[in-house]
Amino acid sequence: MAHSAFHSLTLKELLESIQDYPEESVQLVEKAYHFAANAHDGQKRMSGDPYFVHPVFIASVLAEMQLDPPTIAAGLLHDTAEDCEGVTIEVIEKEFGEEVAVMVDGVTKIGRINVKNWEERQAESLRKMILAMGKDIRVILIKLADRLHNMLTLGYQPEEKQYRTAQETLEIYAPIAHRLGVYKIKQELEDLSLSYIDPEGYRDVATKVGAKRAERENQIQHIIDVLTEKITAAGIQDFEIAGRPKHLYSIYRKMVIQDKTFDQIYDLIAVRVLVNTLPECYQVLGIVHAVWPIMPDRFKDYISNPKNNMYQSLHTTLMGGREVKTPFEVQIRTHEMHAVAEYGIAAHWNYKEGKGGSQMDEKLYWLRQIIDWQSEARDAKEFIDGLKTDLFADEVFVFTPKGDIINMQKGATPLDFAYLIHSGVGNTCTGAKVNGRLVTLDYELQTGDRVEILTSKSAKGPSLDWLKVVKTSQAKAKIRQYFRKAMRSESVGLGKDMMEHEAKRRNVKLGDLTKPEYYEPLLRRYSLADLEAIYGAVGFGGMTAVHAVGQLIDEQQRQKDKEQKKTPPQLPQLTPTFKPQGKPTQGVYVAGGPGMLVRFAHCCNPVPGDEINGYVTRGRGVTVHKADCINILNSEPERRIEVAWADEGSGTFMAGLRIIAYDRPGLVGELTGHVGDSGIKVNSLSAKANKNGTAVIQMSVEVSGTEQLQQLLNRMKRRSDVLEAYRTGN
């Protein structure tokens, strides 16, 4: 195992770390320890070690971060529901309570979903974890400890997995640790990832750092001696001074990304001073600046202007003298600030009293933003790319007109700022002022800028060109959402007008036709949500007004005929009155026994899961229709015959889809690829572009039944570029 600042604790040490909690909480951890040990008994890690060393290490990290007993218990149990026979989330909830079970479930991977590739599985697991974080931030603290131990033992994994895991850690988990301020874990994750992603670069930096270690240690000791004497003379008590550990990845980034030489990096020699109070921080700063000259533009005050992850400290870079020949850095903070710098949100989250506070809500605003836009992601790739961009981006700090500090990713524009404040501000934005001067909407915000958004109630709303201006995933999602609603609203109005015109042509009133009992069969037939969806489908061009009004008139007439005859309607039968005999034909049993030719009606394309009826044709056997198909309902009753689906797994069946989406290059290819990724074959396809910027795509697909078809429709509807997706009868 690679070296770590963390180490495993014995059960006794683990319980001692939480001895200040109530006795029942301590017992909870002890019970979880023995439960997990028993569940993982006989299991081995790739290293050959007993598997139980993994949850114990995680619980030890959580204990060092001074997290509460339920979190430590969840750390011990986090893999039991996924890897141990007979253990489920329900079992964990019964044994350890809902709080622990929810955390374990949040950490558990998506292991049983039908995904086609690693990227999609990664996206769904991360999406699940992000949503769980929104409910309880402790989920990600457990996951970070889990990822740290997996990285420490990554050398036992196959080489391909080593690189892939290290890349994911560097792009997702280390940035999350940074966002939460858990620097102690973040720095270990980054250094470990670098050793697998660029082993040569890692060794080069490590060699250069170690080359003059003795000389640097002597220089650091000289700085400590001088500061100890000066601080003591100033009357400050109970302070600590130590050399700051070297973070290899940060040095590597400066050398590679900023194109600096090793000698141009000024924080190789650094010390950290810890004191008790805020005034003492600035008193020590004065002492430091009185001893050594400050380097211009190298002073940062993160105490009066904390980072968004709650980090607070004074950073100053100083010119060395005779004893220290190179520039060096001094960090000054209180002991409490240091705890936050090491463990971030874990140091602030007050679980003993069961509260996080409004301040904590503000610090987790970035998480709420991610939760907001993740549901708008079109597919796995867009979600992963957006997550990486938002987590990994460098930050700038800007001010509102009232002086509130807002942190944004580097490269953000006034439009991003507007949508961050509120979608209504973004949608009515007409311009922006930065530091009192008008700027273009694509102006790149800089730290210290004071931003004022100009709005107008008469604004026309966002432009599609704004998608090229904004840089944040949140702003892009809100702009797409606006157009989705606007275009739907426009199409609903257009569709209603078209249907009113068609109804008038037929000498009927549309209001007489749009009663629930008349349009509900249409909703079921085409998988539409409500009456507005019918109007929208007509307005988009996905359904003709002639067809929609005709269906409503037919349904109205059927209802009147039923009322006049006072006879029960020909309702579909879920369970046939006949007993299926012999082998089914094409997945269907026919009353009267096997041997009859069976074909499926193209007017309604029934699939397993649909209620069905049969019609005996002249010379072509039995045609199977959906039970609510207008053709079977209007057919001769004496020629109808009972039919029933055989068990599942009897083959594939044709179904029609109609998709209405924003038109753009590559749209059809993406949608067919989306269908293929669901394991469904596209049999035929046609597409038509509309003048309003949308496209109508019609597909004939092969599915195993209504369940698979509905899953596909749901996936399509989740895409931000898809406006409507429903089943058709042709």
Active site residues: 82-83
* DSSP H or E stretch at residue 670: helix 667-677
Which residues does 592 contact at the CB level (< 8 Å), separation at least 6? 578, 641
684: β partners: 700
Q: How far is CA 280 from CA 22, 286, 288, 315, in A?
A: 36, 10, 12, 15
**621 touches 599 (CB < 8 A):** yes
Structure tokens given for 39: 């569940």
CA distance 579 to 650: 18
Rounded Cα gap, residues 486 and 513, in angstroms: 26
Task: Give every CB contact of residue 677 below 8 A, 6+ residues apart in sequence.
Answer: 116, 117, 120
Of the candidates 158, 8, 139, 133, the one whose C-alpha atom is nearest the C-alpha of residue 75 is 139
Which structure tokens are listed for 94? Answer: 């019964």
- Cα separation, 414 vs 416, in Å, equals 5
Per-residue exposure over 4-28, b if at least 16 CB sit within 10 Å of its own CB, e if not? bebebbeeeebbebbeebeeebbeb
Judge whether 510 and 499 are in contact, CB under 8 Å.
yes
Sign of CA dihedral 219, 225, 228, 231: negative
Q: Cα separations (Å) of 642 from 551, 571, 589?
A: 25, 12, 9
Separation CA 527–CA 525 (nearest Å): 6
Separation CA 109–CA 74 (nearest Å): 15
Cα–Cα distance measured from residue 725 to residue 696, given in angstroms and rounded to the nearest whole number = 10
Answer whether 362's CB lies under 8 Å from 106's CB. no
CB 174: neighbour CB atoms within 10 A?
Answer: 27
Pairing state between β 429-434 and 437-439:
antiparallel
Tokens 């430091």 label which residue? 288
Could you give the angle at which helices 335-343 and 183-197 cross, rounded to 10 degrees?
40
